[in-house]
Amino acid sequence: MKPTTPRVAMVTGGARGIGAATARRLAEEGHAVAVLDLLEEQAIATAEEIRTAGGSALALGVDVADELAVEKATERVAQELGGPTILINNAGILRDNLLFKMSTEDWDQVLSVHLRGAFLMSRAVQKHMVDAGWGRIVNMSSTSALGNRGQANYSAAKAGIQGLTKTLATELGRFGITSNAVAPGFVQTDMTRTTAERVGMEFDEFVAAATAQIPVGRPGVPEDIAAAAAFFCSEEAGFTSGQVLYVAGGPAA
């Protein structure tokens, strides 16, 4: 592996789960990390954990669907840590329901956080990447992009993320910027625990049922996804762009 050049990374939804694991992984690789999350107190805790381990981190409470908040957060990161050249678009929410029960508000909120948020963050950060002549954008999609019962909003958002990823790769490649997506399968997080509650299952039972369908015979953990994201952020991934990597313990697409 080539030595890693220290960069400044922004991780949305970085307070817990996959986002926190990715923030920690990037910090371990020598990058300064801005942990962005609507849950500011938990973002602060993640940033403190990184600093305790010897890394550099900043926590910011941000609604990624708020255009002005995104611009201000990006400016603050640039002022305090330096121009960001790594962006992990991970922020997301669930509002699961069957189509005939799904409200317009549930649809709009999910699309807003996942898709509008990724758009706003990418637009704000790309200016710093262009100036640096180097950048890495990693968008979190999902196997749900292939369709999943009770998740019309979430599936549409995650499929949209893949289209956004490929378009950014096409537009930004000439500036030394790559854009890729990681599509996790079943991963044990607070979000999947919420899904278990929605379908009326004990979490252990829910995990066991999901694991039975996974070829490698175990559920995913946030660190599995962080490892994939870290590759896309590496120096060596400069010729890999516009790709969607399914990290699901076996074939997903």
Whole-angstrom distance, CA of residue 212 vs CA of residue 38? 34
Paired residues of 187 in beta bridges = 220
Phi/psi region, residue 104 (left: phi>0; alpha: psi -120 to 50; beta: rest), is alpha
pTM, whole model, 2 decimals?
Answer: 0.96
Q: At residue 223, what is the residue type?
A: E
246 is catalytic: no
Report the pLDDT value the prediction gives residue 168, as an integer from 0 to 100: 98
Tell me which of 32-46, 168-182, 189-203, 205-219 is least confident. Answer: 189-203
The answer, yes or no, to whether residue 2 has pLDDT greater than 70, is no
Task: Give a three-class secondary structure readout of 188-199.
Answer: CCHHHHHHHHHC
Above pLDDT 70, what percent of the chain? Answer: 98
Report the pLDDT value the prediction gives residue 253, as an integer from 0 to 100: 66
pLDDT digits (tens, 9 = 90+) for 34-46: 999 999 999 999 9
C-alpha neighbours within 13 Å on the C-beta side of residue 222? 18
What are the domain boundaries of the chain?
A: 8-185+220-247, 187-219
Supply 63's token pair: 């609604």
> Could you say which of 119, 154, 186, 206 is catalytic?
154
pLDDT band at 194 (very low <50, low <70, confident <90, very high): confident
Let me know if domain 8-185+220-247 sits in CATH 3.30.980.10. Answer: no
pLDDT digits (tens, 9 = 90+) for 70-100: 999 999 999 999 999 999 999 999 999 999 9
pLDDT band at 199 (very low <50, low <70, confident <90, very high): confident
